[in-house]
Structure 1
């Protein structure tokens, strides 16, 4: 039929045919079929029905615990029903909700001196919460932090899991922001090897979803080049050679790095310049082989959410 298996997911098959794209997602005996041409979609269904016994269920509304709602802007994915099932399984359906997923004052320790708890139930609940994080990126950090104690969880760790469940009880009907914002920062020239350090943190709404701090592979000839490398690294966080499509805003603390994104030739003409922190620019950035539609803005250093000591 001409379908090719996706490199990112072995269950996803893609067909490109003269400007038309068809996607087929298969999970055991469930199939999702979508594409840009109704006639070709029907031909695919007809062809599959000649080999397999198919039952057409109509428009997609629910799939593997994920609810699909339609409006004028497109599709909205939700797991509110799944959250209610998790709360019921843990007998937390009547708990009092809270607005923060984790405590900011009580650190979690491997050996906190608290009695141990049932590790089987602990791991089971966290497994469900990991699946929930597909549509709730605001709990990714909390879930990943709590899974660090899977081997010998204590009562304190279980209390942290129950706190996360209380947060879900409070927010299970919330609509999360999909605004993407990246903060980029550069620490210039290490005193020993002269290589600068790049850092970035990426937010989806108010939730950090990716962050990194590392030395640049080569020595930069000026501060602007080092800052430009930091922006490029932030726009391609995977650094895997795979082309990415990124939309959002990237914030830096120097106007020169943002201008260099728009006019790369400036890299050959710019020395270390003193630029006022409150400068502002907007441009389209293309870096690291990524397909990018990003507005870039300069912010005061003290407003940056990333800093090096």
Structure 2
């Protein structure tokens, strides 16, 4: 679907315009998640740089992808395995989410091997001061590593406390 004559849509709004024109509605609390309800059931579409489309009707997913291909250059990567640092696996029991690859990539970027990891990353009630230890030569790397750990809390709630203290 195209905008009315004489009306142009900013690039960042084009995707939302196309999917809402197709009957999808953005979720009020998360504008990157769209829902379409029909006699075929509910279809969820998540768009953050890449896209996930899911519903119980594979034919409808094919229909949605065909409509989106009319407007956008798309590559179908098949069933979901990896998205935004989350590994997704499907079994008969349901879906499982892991960030193991994300963690390994983070350890590599930080030049840390498995010999420097510990099961309990920090004792409770630890008090850290800015004057403790030696200054780091690269604060940007520290900020990057702490920020990356904030994202790990998605699947590793057990590291919430040390991430809070370090940030």
Give 1:247's aligned residue.
none
Contact 1:84/1:93, CA 8 A, preserved across alignment: no
Give 1:76's aligned residue.
96
1:58 aligns with 2:105: no
Contact 1:68/1:75, CA 8 A, preserved across alignment: yes
Structure showing greater radius of gyration is 1
1:116 aligns with 2:108: no
Give the TM-score normalised by the residue count of structure 1.
Answer: 0.44
Matches within 5 A, 1:39-50: 39-50=59-70
Matches within 5 A, 1:1-309: 1-18=22-39, 20-28=41-49, 30-104=50-124, 106-109=126-129, 111-112=130-131, 114-117=133-136, 118-147=138-167
| CA displacement, residues 156-212 of structure 1 (integer Å, 9 cap, x when unaligned) | xxxxxxxxxxxxxxxxxxxxxxxxxxxxxxxxxxxxxxxxxxxxxxxxxxxxxxxxx
- CA shift, 1:114, in A, is 4.2
Contact 1:35/1:41, CA 8 A, preserved across alignment: yes
Contact 1:68/1:77, CA 8 A, preserved across alignment: yes
| CA displacement, residues 258-309 of structure 1 (integer Å, 9 cap, x when unaligned) | xxxxxxxxxxxxxxxxxxxxxxxxxxxxxxxxxxxxxxxxxxxxxxxxxxxx
Distance 1:31 1:106 in 2: 41
**Structure 2: gaps of 5 or more residues:** 1-21
Distance 2:146 2:38 in 1: 42
Give the TM-score normalised by the residue count of structure 2.
Answer: 0.77
Distance 1:114 1:82 in 2: 28
Q: Match of 1:33, SS?
A: strand
| CA displacement, residues 117-158 of structure 1 (integer Å, 9 cap, x when unaligned) | 3422211100111112111111122212211xxxxxxxxxxx
- CA shift, 1:112, in A, is 4.2
Distance 1:142 1:35 in 2: 38
Task: Identify the structure with the greater helix proportion.
Answer: 2
Contact 2:87/2:99, CA 8 A, preserved across alignment: yes
Q: CA RMSD in A?
A: 1.9
Q: How many residues align?
A: 145
Structure 1 residues 19 and 45 mapped into 2: Cα distance closer, same or farther (>3 Å)?
closer
Q: Match of 2:29, SS?
A: coil
Q: Match of 2:31, SS?
A: coil
